[in-house]
Structure 1
């Protein structure tokens, strides 16, 4: 019996040591901690890297939703749901600058489709560096005319956990390919646009 008791005690000590190691490992490696991903539940850095092909397009779609808005508070709040820090500032100022330069009274763009073309990511602790390339198909217009656009964008993104969850904290646009920018078409008359 004493040998059995010693084996049970040894097994318990090993289990406690393993559990303690896991807790200590998570505490010392912030990449192991799970954080909320906007609209997708919680993920740690490794899971985010693995599922980046789902997460990045969802975050970029929210950026385009924000860019489709014309009220500054809506633009900022929508961007803040997926971006923080320098990326939030960059994206917000890009949209606010477009509004100031163009005097946009109404929504000037509508995104019809967005497709992720390429994604490469690397992890550094709790941060994720992502190089992404995506195609956007949409219409951009003014009162007199509309353009159908199919642009391809490449950007270097940094994703990091914040108090609110995973956010894009770095955004550097690397390339814009407008070779499939589309054509200009006349905007429909107001009666045609409403169907009456």
Structure 2
């Protein structure tokens, strides 16, 4: 298992290094072209700037869906649908690193809500620079019990159109606050 993991990490690093040369020129993004976003109608650059409060959680929700996966290829493919370049490499390695350290062997999380808090957006040609704070409310569990979590995150995100869709192209995690860890309760019967 270690050899495939090392090979995948090497491949991701090589792809990440070459991604800077493959990214489209952000200044050449058409003002009228609309790009796909998960769960939303396609958005132009200006519509994405105006609707960042919907676009950002839509992208983050897919990141959390990827983190709920247990197979490396499913994690990578899900992340690649909403991230690109350095952000894809960083988030993929975060998740695979958690698995290598004895992390989750089966899906054990359900996201109920992603709520943006103090968030600002600026436009940089064809990219959006988003200074985001958000709270994720969900349940994480084990065989016999579940925990409600309300963790708060802060990150600097760059969001840009890549291959016809909005993707997170840079992700700089600034802070994690787990003060709202929640209560433990019994898991429902699943007979």
Question: Normalized against structure 2, the TM-score is what?
Answer: 0.77
Correspondence for 1:92: 92
Tell me, in whole angstroms, the C-alpha distance in 2 between the residues paired with 1:143 and 1:102: 16
Correspondence for 1:18: none
Correspondence for 1:152: 152
Correspondence for 2:31: 32
Q: Is the 8 A contact 1:45 1:127 kept in 2?
A: yes
Deviates more, 1:137-146 or 1:74-83: 137-146
Alignment CA distance shift 1:30-1:103 (3 Å): closer
Q: Which runs of 5+ in 1 are unaligned?
A: 1-27
Q: How does 1:70-85 map to 2 (within 5 A)?
A: 70-85=70-85
Alignment CA distance shift 1:146-1:102 (3 Å): farther
Correspondence for 1:171: 171
Correspondence for 2:7: none
Correspondence for 1:4: none
CA RMSD of superposed structures (Å): 2.0
Alignment CA distance shift 1:86-1:128 (3 Å): same
The alpha carbon displacement at 1:89 in A equals 0.8
The alpha carbon displacement at 1:103 in A equals 4.0
Structure with higher Rg: it is 1
Q: Is the 8 A contact 2:151 2:179 kept in 1?
A: yes
Q: Which runs of 5+ in 2 are unaligned?
A: 1-26
**Number of equivalenced pairs:** 164
Correspondence for 1:5: none
Q: Is the 8 A contact 1:38 1:81 kept in 2?
A: no
The alpha carbon displacement at 1:108 in A equals 2.4
